[in-house]
Amino acid sequence: MTSTQFDCQYCTVSLLGKKYVLKDDHLYCVSCYDQIFSNYCEQCKEPIESDSKDLCYKNRHWHEGCFKCTKCHESLVEKPFVAKDERLLCTDCYSNECSSKCFHCKKNIMPGSRKMEFKGNYWHETCFVCEHCRQPIGTKPLISKESGNYCVPCFEKEFAQYCNFCKKVITSGGITFRDQLWHKECFLCSGCRKELCEEAFMSRDDFPFCLDCYNHLYAKKCAACTKPITGLRGAKFICFQDRQWHSECFNCGKCSVSLVGEGFLTQNTEIFCRKCGSGTDIDM
């Protein structure tokens, strides 16, 4: 190699007896190399010279001494860290600032660890356990109560009530009738088998019936209009001997005046007010 071949590629000064840097088969004096090729530190904005360690993360560069947590200023060299909003944070600071807190133990859920979410709250995987058997629930089915979350077997063992019809567990809701429980979809009319959970119904011999079935099978018929008398929702009716009337149908057979609370006379199947019945051969 001639003397001219041992000159700085940029400033051409002789490098004999001096420190130099070889890059892409070219020689550079340290000063020229730092001026041309040095990266600038994200923290101090000064060039990272060739005699300094250049720490790089996602095309960003730091001096070794500047590579610190932006919150607690502890060195991140050879330590785990998290980048958030262009900031570098140690795992403790990131956890305190950004991580979810466990609903059970109230401690931070560290970055990278598995967390469970349920009803808007978060748990460590080891804290998300059945309230009864204390085994991790994970992604298995669960049932929640005010006292905690339960795996299905423990819930059935401790709390479950069973449908009087299908004998299966009632996990929520349900219908109570005659001190017994039904699933809503199992509480059916004993006549036509339609669901009664949102329907008015009547009972007979401890069996529920929709109004149509009850009226057809059991309701007395009004002696005047022949329609069923149900007594539903407090409706009033009149009984006399073996006959019944809706209160609004209990009227004089001649002048139609209401006889509710009034004296009346009968003749065969007819009823009359005292005025219309006067002078007529009628039963008293």
Give me the half-sphere count of Cα atoms (radius 13 Å) on the Cβ side of residue 217: 16
Q: What does the block give as tokens for 255?
A: 């002048």
pTM: 0.36
pLDDT at position 129, please? 92
Q: Is residue 106 part of a domain?
A: no
Q: What is the pLDDT of residue 128?
A: 92
According to DSSP, the residues that pair with 55 across neighbouring strands are: 62
Confidence category of residue 8, pLDDT binned at 50, 70, 90: confident
Three-state secondary structure call for residue 124: strand
Is 271 in a helix, a strand, or coil? strand
| Tens of pLDDT, residues 61-76 | 999 999 999 889 999 9
pLDDT band at 249, cuts 50/70/90? confident
Q: Has residue 238 been placed in a domain?
A: no
H or E stretch including 149? strand 148-151
Nearest to 93 by CA among 76, 114, 115: 76
Following CA atoms 119, 122, 126, 129 in sequence, which dihedral angle do they give, to the nearest 10 degrees? Answer: -20
Q: Is residue 39 part of a domain?
A: no
CATH code: domain of residue 188: 2.10.110.10
Mean pLDDT of 80-89: 84
Reported as a single tens digit per residue, the pLDDT across 179-219 is: 888 898 899 998 898 888 888 888 888 889 888 888 888 87
Residue 275 domain-assigned (yes or no): no
Q: Are 89 and 71 in contact (CB under 8 A)?
A: yes
Domain assignment present for 228: no
In this structure, is residue 269 part of a structural domain?
no
How many domains does the structure of the chain reveal? 1
Could you tell me if residue 182 is inside a domain? yes
Residue 61 lies in a domain: no
What domain range includes position 170? 162-218
Percent of the chain with pLDDT strictly greater than 90? 8
